[in-house]
Structure 1
Amino acid sequence: MMATDGITNPFPGLRSFESNESDRFFGRDLQIQDILSKLKDNRFISVLGTSGSGKSSLVKGGVLPRLSKGKEEDWSIRLMRPENQPLQNLARQLAQMGKLDVPDEDAEEYIMALLMRSRMGLVQVVEEMKLGASDRVLMVVDQFEELFRYRKEERAQKSEDSLSAKFVNLLLEATGQRKVPIYVMLTMRSDFLSDCTDFHGLPEAINDGQYLIPRMTHTELRQVITGPMQQYGYPISNVLVNRLLYDLGSSMDQLPILQHALMRTWDYWRQYEANAEPMGILHYEAIGTMSQALSSHADEAFHELDEEHQRVCKRVFQALTQIGKEGRGIRRPTPLWQLCDIANAKPWEVVAVAEKF
């Protein structure tokens, strides 16, 4: 058998696939093509699905790499999340394109001023870039539902100037005109669709360019499991593949758990038997299967921390998730300095905890 030395684990675990990992992203060819076809007719695309259905991975690991390989158009793709500062994050991504006749150190501030000045601010920024005839700009807003949490915080603070509304208006105006080639693609959990009514024009835009991720077929799920292994020439037993498909069942929200179990199984197989036999059922059961792999990993990581770092860990994880009145969990992006204040810890202590997981 081939040794696995020098190769990164082909499975990402709980995180989403990135654009540079398209070579190990399998099972979504039809969905990628559907979204690219929709992009030809609509400048505002919303990729929707339940939590854990693979929205971010589909866009970052599938759609964006395929779009970049196109020969007819030259796409400048900028990826962002709203977090706690949607306008600043948008300005930063535009500044990093480096296409304005402004000193690099002043670009972000200059762009921010244009964005704040008018609803057409995004159009004005891109217009000043003087793009070529085949150039296109695509702004990808991942985890768009973060904006709704930010919106609620604005209301709680009784802010008169809604930056979340400005952000949405900039996107809508940019995709509603045809003079400047600006496109927007967002990913959002489908259970947040009703929150879109807080923003004038957003429900209509989402309805026009909506793509609801369909349930994956048995064949596609098999490709998700076997594709990355075959890509690097590593063997996996059919018994394990069938067991994984059985354990996954029909739950689309379990795809991150599947990837995490595969990542842990691969690590175990590499460590103990990579040169002896294919990755198989015994390796999978050794890490606790899909039902226990995540909790076992978390328990292992937590118990490897000393008492002080366990205290920091609890406060950090509590700070990173917010539960709404409807019982929906949503990520709460928090700067390192703020996590340090919350956990009453030094930066290196918070980083050490994060790296453990």
Structure 2
Amino acid sequence: MGRREIPLDPSAGPVQQLAHALRELRAKAGGPTYRAMAGRSVFSASSLAHAASGRALPSLPLALAYVEACGGDRQEWEARWEAAGRELARSPRDDDGADPPYRGLVCFGQADRELFFGRDDLVDRVVDLMGRRRFVALVGASGSGKSSLLRAGILPALRERPEGAPRLAAVRVTTPGGRHTSEHAARLTTVPAASTEDVLLVVDQFEEVFTLCPERDRFLDLLLTALDEHSRLRVVIAVRADFLGRCAQHPGLAAALRDATVVVGAMSAAELREAVVKPAANAGLIVERALTARIVEETVQEPGGLPLMSHALLETWRRRRGRALTEEMYEAAGGIRGAVATTAEDLFRRLTPSQAGTARRILLRLITPGEGTEDTRRPTDRAELDAASPETAAVLEQLVRARLLTLDGCRVDLAHEALISAWPRYRAWIDQERERLRLHRRLTDDARTWVEHDRDPDTLYRGSRLAAAADAFAGEARQALSSPEAAFLDAGTAARDHESRQTARAARRLRSLTIALSVLLFVALSASLLAWNQGRSSGPRPRFARSGPCLFPPRPTSPVKTALPGP
């Protein structure tokens, strides 16, 4: 009697589907025992049983031995095995609990030093410059790896205290987005009282100074105190290259960056090879030579391609079978140019229509449209997303799990700006909504100001500004507003309507008063005319009055000459 097998669900995946088909083939062959099948094969009974267990895809020779022992067609089943392998390669897996050797779109952190390769020369150059300058800038295009270089390269190197590096009492990392950046930075730059060493403030994503920081001047003034002769503050910033012109417009910042700027350029082919192979080797994995060569070639040709390469490698790792990462898995993940879009679209297709709308609203809120520069990501507080909503919370969790977003405490952010250009659907949303997004960014800030000022009516929108915002967020577009933003816009509309009603009421009163005054004036005038006419009627009649018209007026009389008596 054959051993009892655990039932399988053929819809659970390609492995289970193939195992279920193998069992059906065995049943059609009369249900031979595995011991009997082993007598017709070079494989043991336990190996043949494992082939149809559904726990893993069997090797091709084992699968074909099972088929031949049951009288099946070798060519047909070889094609079925290959189809199952292709389907399995397309299906990512995270079920073994292993830590991935690649970070995907997420930048490397200080804890990822053992995964960070290919930047040794650049790290040494920056550390050396920091020993000679108190204010240093890393400048590079989006996707050049500035954040990872700072966090996983330079900061760990400083902890090792190489010769010539500054001695530091504390290292603190921040980004400049937010309304209370200056107060936060003031706390970060506080030097421990008992220490004689410096404090290093690392400002990542420095371009947010120009897009998200209302206290820009105060924040810059604070950072530039590092240049004072007796300062114990040191500063390192990482800024996107397309914002370098904005930095040059600030005289103090321009002076600070002179002779203190390191350009973070593209990695060489040898450096890229290290970044591909060594993390996998540390995890006990092998990257096929052909795959390594292909990734290096494609990344060299892709400007800002490091996060795309990292994400493609992560998705390839998730599709691994055994220890090898192969071209087949890489292609199933979508490659350099398609892995991000593949991940995003796979997630998007699994959402309900309502959830898809919520995902769109979340993702658009995380964008600041460029003004003469590329679009930038916009870190956002969870409260602004109305994350208390169960649907919003569920969609947010899925976006984070797919590594498209990061969640750090209450701060939600894109995993990388590469998502903006690498996901065509997202790019189309942004282009369609560009003008509304600009209005929305201003509305968000103004609504926050209104709330912070205890809903002061003087801070509400009026006139054309209110009309533009009300028009932009009418109908379905209103769903994009958070609760405070909707309340702010409603308050402005209510104030406008109240003023309109007051104006209309005043106009009606003025009309009534005008009519009343007109009536009074008419009555008074009529009375005056009547009195005048009555006055004429009661006076003496004319001397030469005629009953008819006077055709010949009387001649004037000459004075009568009276003859006086003579003497």
Q: Could you say if the C-alpha distance between residues 147 and 346 of structure 1 is closer, same or farther in structure 2, counting changes exceeding 3 Å?
A: farther
Q: How many angstroms apart in 1 are the aligned matches of 2:327 and 2:236?
A: 40
Kept after mapping to 1: 8 A contact 2:186/2:222: no
- Residues 257-304 of structure 1 show CA distances to partners (whole Å, capped at 9, x for unaligned) of 0000000001110xxx125xx211111111121121111100011111
CA contact (8 A) 1:165 1:199 kept: no
Work out which of the residue numbers 276, 287, 292 in structure 1 matches 2:333: 287
Matched, 1:90 2:185: yes
CA distance in 2, matches of 1:338, 1:350: 15
The AA in structure 1 aligned to 2:208 is E
1:333 Cα offset (Å): 1.6
Identify the match of residue 322 of structure 2 among 261, 268, 274.
Answer: 274
- Whether contact under 8 Å (1:45, 1:210) holds in the other structure is yes
**Other structure's SS at 1:139 match:** strand
CA distance in 2, matches of 1:304, 1:298: 10
Task: Map 1:30-109 onto structure 2 (within 5 A).
Answer: 30-70=121-161, 73-85=167-179, 86-91=181-186, 94=188
Superposition deviation, residue 91 in structure 1: 4.4
Q: CA deviation at 1:214?
A: 2.9
Query: In the alignment, which of 145, 159, 183 is matched to residue 207 of structure 2?
Result: 145
Q: Deviations over 1:114-133 (max 9, x none)?
A: xxxxxxxx5xx32xx22434
What is the TM-score when the length of structure 1 is the normalising length? 0.79
Offset at residue 204 of structure 1 (A): 1.2
CA contact (8 A) 1:82 1:89 kept: no
State whether structure 2 residue 116 is matched by structure 1 residue 21: no
1:228 aligns with 2:279: yes
Q: Is the 8 A contact 1:301 1:356 kept in 2?
A: no
The one-letter amino acid paired with 2:123 is: I
Q: Out of 191, 194, 199, which is 2:242 matched to?
A: 191
Q: Per-residue deviation at 1:347?
A: 5.5
Secondary structure of 2:380 counterpart: coil
Partner of 1:11: 102
Cα distance change on mapping 1:245 and 1:198 into 2, 3 Å: same
Partner of 1:106: none
Shift of 1:245: 1.2
Distance (whole Å) between structure 2 residues aligned to residue 148 and residue 194 of structure 1: 11
The CA deviation at 1:327 is 4.9
Indicate conservation of the 8 Å contact 1:80/1:140, yes or no: yes
Q: TM-score scaled by structure 2?
A: 0.51
**CA distance in structure 2 between the aligned counterparts of 1:262 and 1:22, rounded to whole angstroms:** 18
- Would you say the 8 A contact 1:309–1:353 is kept in 2? no
CA separation in 1, counterparts of 2:343 and 2:243?
Answer: 30
Tell me: CA distance 1:71–1:247, structure 2 relative to 1, closer, same or farther (3 Å).
closer
Q: Is the contact made by 1:313 and 1:353 (CA closer than 8 Å) also made in structure 2? A: no
Q: In 1, are the aligned partners of 2:309 and 2:336 still within 8 Å (CA)?
A: yes
Partner of 1:66, secondary structure, is helix
Secondary structure of the structure 2 residue equivalent to 1:253 = coil
Unpaired stretches in structure 2, ≥5 consecutive residues? 1-94, 403-567
* Maintained 8 Å contact 1:52/1:254: yes
Distance 2:269 2:305 in 1: 14
Deviates further, 186-195 or 320-329: 320-329
Distance 1:307 1:89, change over 3 A: farther
Instruction: Name the SS of the counterpart of 1:201 in structure 2.
Output: helix
Q: In structure 2, what is the equivalent of residue 132 of structure 1?
A: 195
Q: Tell me which amino acid in the other structure corresponds to 1:294.
A: V
Paired position in structure 2 for 1:171: 223
| Offset at residue 177 of structure 1 (A) | 2.1
Tell me, what secondary structure is at the counterpart of 1:148?
helix
Q: Unmatched 5+ residue regions in structure 1? A: 95-121, 155-162
User: 1: distance between equivalents of 2:264 and 2:303?
Assistant: 10
Correspondence list, 1:239-258, <5 A: 239-258=290-309
- Quick one: structure 1 residues 337 and 25, their matched pair in 2 at CA, closer, same or farther if it must change by over 3 Å? same
SS of the equivalent of 2:104 reads coil
Residue 302 of structure 2 is aligned to residue 208 of structure 1 = no
Deviations 1:18-62 (A, max 9, x none): 000011100000000000000010010100000100000111110
Partner in structure 2 of residue 99 of structure 1 = none
Indicate conservation of the 8 Å contact 2:268/2:300, yes or no: no
The one-letter code matched in structure 1 to 2:209 is L
- Mapped to 1, the partners of 2:250 and 2:176 lie a distance apart of 15
8 A Cα contact 1:47 1:212, kept in partner: yes
Note closer, same or farther for the CA distance 1:131–1:46 as it changes in structure 2 (3 Å cut).
Answer: farther
Q: What amino acid is aligned across from residue 212 of structure 2 in structure 1?
A: Y
In structure 2, distance between residues paired with 1:344 and 1:239: 48
Greater Rg over alpha carbons, structure: 2
Out of 9-18 and 70-79, give the one that drifted further.
70-79
User: How many residue pairs were aligned?
Assistant: 304
Q: Give me the whole-angstrom Cα distance separating, in 2, the residues matched to 1:211 and 1:65.
A: 18
C-alpha distance in 2, partners of 1:356/1:218? 31
SS in 1 for 2:304: helix
Supply the distance in 1 between the matched residues of 2:258 and 2:303 (Cα, whole angstroms): 23
Contact 1:52 1:253 (C-alpha < 8 Å) held by counterparts: yes
Q: Aligned letter for 2:108?
A: F
Question: Distance in 1 between the 2:322 and 2:131 partners?
Answer: 45
Are residues 87 and 71 of structure 1, via their aligned partners in 2, closer, same or farther at CA, if it must alter by over 3 Å? same
In 2, distance between residues paired with 1:325 and 1:218? 34
Distance 1:6 1:354 in 2: 20
Contact 1:68 1:75 in 2 (8 A): no
Amino acid at match of 1:234: L
- Structure 1 stretches (4+) deviating beyond 4 angstroms? 343-347
Which structure has more relative contact order (CA 8 Å, sep 6+)? It is 1
Q: Output the CA distance in 1 between the equivalents of 2:103 and 2:242.
A: 25
| Conserved 8 A contact 2:172-2:200 | yes
Instruction: Measure how far apart 1:356 and its partner are.
Output: 4.3
Which has the higher mean CA deviation after the structures are superposed, 239-248 or 198-207?
A: 198-207
Of residues 327, 342, 350, the one that matches 1:296 is 342
Q: State the distance in 1 between where 2:258 and 2:290 align.
A: 43
CA distance in 2, matches of 1:52, 1:182: 29
Q: Distance between the aligned counterparts of 1:53 and 1:316, measured in 2?
A: 26
Distance between the aligned counterparts of 1:88 and 1:353, measured in 2? 34
Change in 2 beyond 3 A, CA 1:57/1:171: same
Return the letter of the residue paired with 2:399.
A
